[in-house]
Amino acid sequence: MNVQTPKIRTRAGGRSARRTLRSIRDIAMLPGLANTLPLCEVMDGAQVERIDAASMDILEEIGVVFRDEIALEDWRRAGAKVVGERVHLDRGLVHELIATIPAEFTYHARNPANNVSLGGRHAVFVPMTGAPYLRDLDDVRRNPTLDDLAMFHKLSHMSPALHSTAHHIVEPYDHPISQRHLRITYSSMKHSDKMFMGMTTSPKNAEDVMEMCALLFGEEFIDSHPVTTGNCNGNSPLVWDETMLGAMRAFCRRNQPVLCSPFVLGGANTPASVPATVAQLNAEALSALAYTQVVRRGCPAIYGHYLSTVSMKSGAPMAGTPEISLMNFMIGQMARFYGVPWRTSNTLGGAKTFDAQAGYESATTLSAVMHAGANYIWHSAGWNEAGMHCSVAKFVVDAEQCAMAYRMAEGPKWGDFDTALAAVRDVGPGGHYLGHPHTQENFQTAYFMPELFDNNSIEQWQADGAKEITRRALEQARAMLAEYQEPKLDAARNEALLDYIARREREIPAADALNQEY
């Protein structure tokens, strides 16, 4: 049976509706996602406890290295056994410390309409960060500038399913590295009124971000309201370094959440075993989560990880592979077992261009993290080439993919079930629904219509210029940027931020750091 699908001729009403749909771009942010999907839990209760027990054994018997004198002293005071740089954490102490991490909290944006909940079934999509290259509006791969960063912050602002502008989506190479965090943070704050992330590249940089948050929101406000997120990567296996721990303290002291993210290359810095990798990663995450509570009891904190597996053929990190999906399912179970919100990475992949590999990798990962029930869904737009570049084309496509995943996670809509069934009676065998009033009233919400997928016939597609998705996406990005309107910062706060940046740029030596490799 040939299942080719004939193109359906829509009525004039459909064409008119099409024009209307195209003329208004809805950039209103979708509310924070409440994921209604039953989650994919691949471990039974005994297996969850087996991972927990293995992780606790690791923490007690092997211990975790904290390469930081302040942290070691903190741990001694908290009652841990410290031998050299190695901290042995008793399972009772770990459980006691992580118990005070809030299971859910609300992120505050400078536009309160863009506040979002995190934890439990509440989730957010956050763009990729950290790319030393971009593929730009002409798909040219090059080092980024502050203008490029601003462009990505604008695109984040205009993408309904992205809940954050993140921070250094791309590295602005035209500004000294030692001062870059100031301009990055300001760009996030200025170009969007969604929430954003805070740089953790050094303890001092993290302090600067906290000061800027205090200027934007008020010192007292941030002490009781999460307004940003830092990321602290661990060095697997079982090491946390001074830079990350110092940055972590800067955030925790101001009551701002950090992602406690072991950096896992499965098979290279963890065992060649899915459950054992999860056990090690879990021990690492718990050790940092516990430390956040040593710094400040009750401070929000997020169970993190960066996760790829390593090809033993080439040594390269891999994404979109089955074990990454399985580990996401398992890590989600562990985070829920401990009652802590968790972060994952979305749309990862190693493709060098925006080819089909990139599509498979990203969609596979997006699907997995939705079924895993992740809360802080980072790297949700633009990631390519193992994070080495952020692609403008991929950014806008990924953002639409997130909107589709969001729709899926809302589950079926039953509100009009009875009237829709009445349409079945009206239409009867052999009829069609295109002209039925129920269809006319509901088509816009019933079935998601992606802007960036071309589903026309090949003849129509050829008549439209035979554009593959990269070209269509770049056109969409240009169109969005042409329509961008800046959500203006309050003038006094803006001035205070600029004054702060000016002062700090006078204080921080810049000369030898320009264009340094990051």
For residue 292, the tally of other CB atoms under 10 A from its CB is 26
Q: What is the DSSP string of 44-113?
A: -HHHHHHHHHHHHHIIIII-EEEE-HHHHHHHHHHT-EEETTEEE--HHHHHHHHTTS-SSEEE--SSGG
Q: Which is nearer to a copy of itself, 17 or 103 (CB)?
A: 17
| Cα torsion through 512, 389, 324, 267, rounded to 10 | -50
Determine if 287 is a binding residue for a copy of itself (CB under 8 A). no
Determine if 502 is a binding residue for a copy of itself (CB under 8 A). no
Residues of this chain, 44-83, that bind a copy of itself according to CB under 8 A: 47, 50, 54, 57-58, 61-65
Minimum distance from CB of 32 to a copy of itself (Å)? 18
Residues of this chain, 267-286, that bind a copy of itself according to CB under 8 A: 267-277, 279-280
Residue type, 276: A
Determine if 137 is a binding residue for a copy of itself (CB under 8 A). no
Q: Which is nearer to a copy of itself, 117 or 333 (CB)?
A: 333
Determine if 513 is a binding residue for a copy of itself (CB under 8 A). no
Determine if 358 is a binding residue for a copy of itself (CB under 8 A). yes
Residues of this chain, 446-475, that bind a copy of itself according to CB under 8 A: 446-450, 452-458, 460-461, 466, 468-470
Find the part of the chain contacting a copy of itself (CB under 8 A) among 153-161, 310-318, 477-485, 500-508.
310-318
Minimum distance from CB of 140 to a copy of itself (Å)? 14
Q: Which of 282, 346, 380, 401 binds a copy of itself (CB under 8 A)?
A: 401
Q: What is the spatial distance between Cα 274 and Cα 436, in angstroms, rounded to a whole number? A: 52
Q: Answer yes or no: are the C-beta atoms of 79 and 258 closer than 8 Å.
A: no
Sign of the CA dihedral running 108, 109, 112, 117 = negative
Q: Which is nearer to a copy of itself, 37 or 70 (CB)?
A: 37
How big is the CA angle at 171 (ends 165 and 177), to the nearest 5 degrees? 120
Tokens 């589950």: give the residue.
411
Those residues whose C-beta lies under 8 Å from the C-beta of residue 176, and which sit 6 or more positions away, are 508, 510, 511, 513, 514
Across-strand partners of 307?
264
Q: Which of 30, 43, 184, 214 binds a copy of itself (CB under 8 A)?
A: 43
Across-strand partners of 105?
118
Find the part of the chain contacting a copy of itself (CB under 8 A) among 6-14, 27-35, 181-189, 496-504.
6-14
Determine if 292 is a binding residue for a copy of itself (CB under 8 A). no
Determine if 1 is a binding residue for a copy of itself (CB under 8 A). yes
Tokens 């203008």: give the residue.
147
Q: Which of 113, 316, 479, 502 binds a copy of itself (CB under 8 A)?
A: 316
Binding residue count for a copy of itself, defined by CB under 8 A: 161
Determine if 25 is a binding residue for a copy of itself (CB under 8 A). no
